[in-house]
Chains A and B, each alone.
Chain A
């Protein structure tokens, strides 16, 4: 099974900051990677698919890159709505797996 490891687990930042979250796969997954945002008490929301493609309706301050085993999600200028937990997910095969999550907190 493919393991997904995110870092950091928690990130403290301020409105307007640029932040980056990292996700590493235990083996190559090409570009079969998604990023989700989850606010407390809500279902996850798809932000990015195929490693770098922005889902329709997602603000352009979100961007992502990577391929193989190393991936990043960047938020260029944090807005109040962005303080949430972020998960990466690999879907290279029908044995999906998620990272453990990165909680983005207000500093």
Chain B
């Protein structure tokens, strides 16, 4: 069974940092691009960042550029999101999602259950 499991969320003070992890199983992780998407309370979905297979390219939404860094560890079948200079408006549920295995952007066919991040003093 294909699975994505996020972890690392929690309560952090404004200006603080957090590292989210997404452990995967059930598919050949190294072949797929992976993404992070977030959803603020009562709001819609916001794509944050993508990393292609092999980690050859990274892409970021404007809201994530300069503060968030995506990375992957293929031997551990995991993808990460390092977040710094966190602000209250970064409060959201953060999802990882599987993308393409064929070298171009694709729909997100598998999602994790999400991890909640709260930025508050």
Chain A contact residues, CB within 8 Å of chain B: 1, 32, 34, 36, 38, 43-46, 49-50, 55, 87, 89, 91-101
Contacts and interface: CB of A to CB of B under 8 A. Distances in A.
B34 to A, nearest CB: 12
Contacts, number: 56
A44 B109 contact: no
B111 A45 contact: yes
A43 B114 contact: yes
Closest 7 interchain pairs by CB?
A34-B107, A49-B107, A43-B111, A96-B47, A91-B105, A94-B59, A98-B45
Instruction: Tell me whether chain B's interface is mostly helix, strand or loop, or mixed.
Output: loop
B59 A87 contact: no
Interface of B: 35, 44-47, 50, 57, 59, 61-62, 95, 105-109, 111-114
A49 to B, nearest CB: 4
A77 B113 CA distance: 28
Interface of A is mostly: loop
B35 A96 contact: yes
Contacts of B105: 32, 91-94, 96
B107 A89 contact: yes
Given A49-B106, A55-B109, A89-B47, 19 more contacts: A34-B107, A36-B108, A43-B95, A43-B112, A43-B113, A44-B95, A45-B111, A50-B107, A87-B44, A89-B108, A92-B105, A93-B105, A94-B57, A94-B105, A96-B35, A96-B47, A96-B50, A97-B47, A98-B47
